[in-house]
């Protein structure tokens, strides 16, 4: 039996709604095998992040090397990166991989509003973006990375600057219809769907990026992987169990078929 091996480089969420915890739930639901290199430990719940502690770069690399030397990897998902040192160390290591798709979710601010990346770390994102098959910023993150709030212009700037593709996520936009657009050097693919009104949105970005990575690891095209990932996120949003008093977790384990 073959299974897609997905390496997740991200932070831990003690509340189980986002980060490594959401990533692993997503990979499992979509038929993959999730492996982790934890970059930071956070104390958080649905109301916010109370503490965060970066993991030293050498320990992050030790986790990556342990996985690569034995199990191997079919795709990589990068989320919360922890520090500039970790960003550069991870970029050095991933640059040695040949033909392995990389999905980079440039996490800057949590759903609760907590800042999860300082300016030095954000500056180091450039190397990871250049290595990535696709970068999945939300609208504020994309504006910060590109220096403009114009979605089309920002996406095209990032594609031209780093190569690869940019998935401009529309969740932070206005209106009853949510639009996500995938920009490449040659094309733009658009998905539109009714906005799901819920406060239980913690971990949507992590979940989407991990679902894309799992699809790519299984051999799907990028458009196919994004299509499947968006459907999965919508399903788990609708299945949210209603936990916590703030931005609650989604229902990763509460849908009958992860690929439906």
Structural domain boundaries in the chain: 5-238
Question: How open is the CA angle 54-57-60, to the nearest 5 degrees?
Answer: 85
Strand segments (E) across 14-116: 33-45, 48-54, 75-78, 102-104
Residue 65: per-residue pLDDT: 98
Q: Average of pLDDT values for 29-57? A: 95
> Is residue 246 annotated as part of the catalytic site, yes or no?
no
Most confident of the ranges 74-78, 82-86, 254-258 = 74-78
Distance in angstroms between the alpha carbons of the first and the last residue of the chain? 22
Residue 1: per-residue pLDDT: 59
Place of tokens 């030095």: 120
CATH of domain 5-238: 3.40.1190.20
Q: Identify the residue with better confidence: 190 or 119.
A: 190
Q: What is the dihedral of CA 139, 132, 44, 73, to 10 degrees?
A: 150
> Which entry of 15, 16, 133, 206 is annotated as an active-site residue?
206
d(CA 15, CA 49): 10
> Is residue 206 annotated as part of the catalytic site, yes or no?
yes
> Is residue 205 annotated as part of the catalytic site, yes or no?
yes
Place of tokens 């977790």: 249
pTM equals 0.94
> Is residue 169 annotated as part of the catalytic site, yes or no?
yes
Q: Which two tokens stand for residue 251?
A: 């229902």
> Is residue 204 annotated as part of the catalytic site, yes or no?
yes
pLDDT more than 70, % of the chain: 94
> Which entry of 201, 217, 251, 258 is annotated as an active-site residue?
201
> Is residue 77 annotated as part of the catalytic site, yes or no?
no
Place of tokens 């995938």: 182
């Amino acid at each position: 039996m073959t299974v897609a091996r997905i390496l997740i480089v991200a932070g831990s969420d003690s509340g189980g709604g986002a980060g490594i915890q959401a990533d692993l739930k997503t990979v499992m639901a979509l038929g993959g095998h999730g492996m982790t290199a934890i970059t930071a430990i956070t104390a958080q719940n649905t109301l916010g992040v109370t503490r965060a502690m970066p993991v030293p770069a050498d320990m992050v690399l030790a986790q990556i090397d342990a996985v690569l030397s034995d199990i191997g990897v079919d795709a990589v998902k990068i989320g919360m990166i922890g520090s500039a040192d970790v960003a550069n160390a991870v970029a050095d290591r991933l640059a040695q991989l040949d033909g392995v798709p990389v999905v980079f979710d440039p996490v800057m601010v949590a759903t609760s509003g907590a800042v999860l990346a300082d300016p030095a770390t954000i500056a180091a994102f450039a190397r990871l973006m250049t290595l990535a098959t696709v970068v999945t910023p939300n609208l504020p993150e994309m504006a910060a990375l590109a220096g403009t709030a114009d979605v089309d212009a920002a996406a095209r700037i990032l594609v031209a600057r780093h190569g690869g593709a940019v998935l401009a996520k529309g969740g932070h936009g206005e209106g009853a219809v949510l639009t996500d657009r995938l920009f490449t050097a040659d094309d733009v693919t658009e998905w539109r769907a009714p906005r799901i009104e819920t406060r239980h949105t913690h971990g949507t970005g992590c979940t989407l990026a991990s679902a894309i990575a799992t699809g790519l690891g299984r051999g799907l095209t990028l458009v196919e992987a994004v299509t499947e990932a968006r459907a999965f996120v919508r399903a788990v949003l609708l299945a949210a169990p209603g936990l916590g008093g703030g931005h609650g977790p989604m229902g990763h384990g509460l849908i009958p078929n992860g690929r439906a």
